């Protein structure tokens, strides 16, 4: 892994492909790390893309520079991290493929910095206008049990004591059985050993409903701006696992009115919450075609 430095972080990232090719940033979700993109990154790299894959704040080797910086896990913070990485690498304009949290970052950048983003592909997570989390119906709320656990102080403490076991619950239940092996989970879970992984995890969810959760004021303007944006003008591909047991496929239906540029939703039959890991060839082909169509 290589790294660049922002005001806030030492951002760890890897890079494959053609260094003169069009850039695409692959942003991982939760609970995952940049290594989850290996097959997609290699495929896009062989197709001529310059593929940049960072680890999110609080994950693997990406580290905060100061112990006093609030551990803010909001999407605008991760979006700013992505722009900081792009600036450090001299990327004026780039494409984004994001999974889960990474999908939220892709939508956020499409809302706040559309001039920087040529196209986005979002995996597993539907667009949320204004960046707002809306309380879902009962079946979806049941699937979000892990989020409600974080709002209970005793639950948050349990997660602090057993972060890897908590992540394992999601891997075991969000997709059809057999999609990963023990060796891959162990290699990925090493990235959850970052001292700030749990803090960022809790911040990302608890800050939705608990007003006293720590927030980094440097992102307040971005939060205010995001709250004004409903419609996106960046070409978007949404890839939904048809057997996603975390985010019900119905949650990504009927969102076309929120996109003024090209928008396409593709359901991957038999695929769960981790399409880039479960069906990397399909994801690579679909992402490549979409990003290439709208490049430049």
**CA 68 – CA 27 distance, rounded (Å):** 25
Q: Is 133 helix (H, G, I), strand (E, B) or coil?
A: coil
**CA 13 – CA 34 distance, rounded (Å):** 8
Q: What is the pTM of this model?
A: 0.97
Kindly tell me the sign of the dihedral angle through the C-alpha atoms of 86, 230, 150, 72: positive
Per the rule left: phi > 0, alpha: psi between -120 and 50, beta: everything else, 17 is: left
Helices marked H in 32-181 — which ranges? 38-46, 75-88, 101-112, 138-143, 145-151, 153-161, 163-173
The DSSP 8-state label assigned to residue 104 in this structure reads H
User: What string of pLDDT tens digits covers the 296 residues of the chain?
Assistant: 899 999 999 999 999 999 999 999 999 999 999 999 999 999 999 999 999 999 999 999 999 999 999 999 999 999 999 999 999 999 999 999 999 999 999 999 999 999 999 999 999 999 999 999 999 999 999 999 999 999 999 999 999 999 999 999 999 999 999 999 999 999 999 999 999 999 999 999 999 999 889 899 999 999 999 999 999 999 999 999 999 999 999 999 999 999 999 999 999 999 999 999 999 999 999 999 999 999 86
């Amino acid at each position: 892994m290589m790294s660049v430095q922002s005001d806030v972080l030492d951002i760890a990232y890897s890079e494959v492909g053609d260094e003169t090719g069009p850039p695409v940033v692959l942003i991982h979700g939760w609970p995952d790390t940049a290594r989850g993109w290996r097959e997609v990154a290699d495929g896009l790299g062989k197709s001529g893309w310059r593929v940049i894959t960072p680890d999110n704040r609080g994950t693997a080797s990406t580290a905060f520079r100061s112990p006093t910086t609030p551990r803010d896990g909001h999407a605008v913070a991760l979006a700013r991290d992505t722009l900081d990485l792009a600036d450090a690498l001299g990327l004026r304009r780039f494409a984004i493929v994001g999974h889960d949290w990474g999908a939220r970052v892709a939508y956020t950048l499409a809302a706040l910095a559309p001039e920087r983003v040529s196209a986005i592909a979002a995996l597993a997570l539907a667009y949320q206008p204004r960046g707002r989390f809306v309380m879902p119906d009962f079946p979806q709320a049941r699937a979000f049990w892990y989020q409600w656990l974080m709002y209970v102080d005793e639950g948050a403490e349990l997660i602090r004591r057993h972060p890897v076991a908590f992540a394992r619950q999601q891997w075991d239940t969000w997709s059809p059985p057999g999609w990963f092996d023990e060796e891959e989970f162990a290699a990925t879970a090493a990235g959850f050993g970052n001292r700030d992984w749990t803090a960022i995890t809790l911040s990302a969810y608890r800050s939705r409903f608990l007003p006293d959760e720590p927030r980094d004021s440097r992102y307040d303007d971005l939060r205010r701006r995001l709250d004004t944006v409903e419609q996106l003008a960046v070409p978007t591909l949404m890839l939904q696992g048809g057997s996603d047991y975390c985010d019900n496929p119905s949650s990504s239906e009927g969102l076309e009115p929120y996109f003024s540029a090209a928008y396409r939703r593709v359901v991957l039959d038999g695929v769960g919450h981790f399409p880039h890991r479960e069906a990397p060839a399909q994801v690579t082909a679909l992402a490549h075609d979409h990003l290439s169509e709208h490049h430049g």
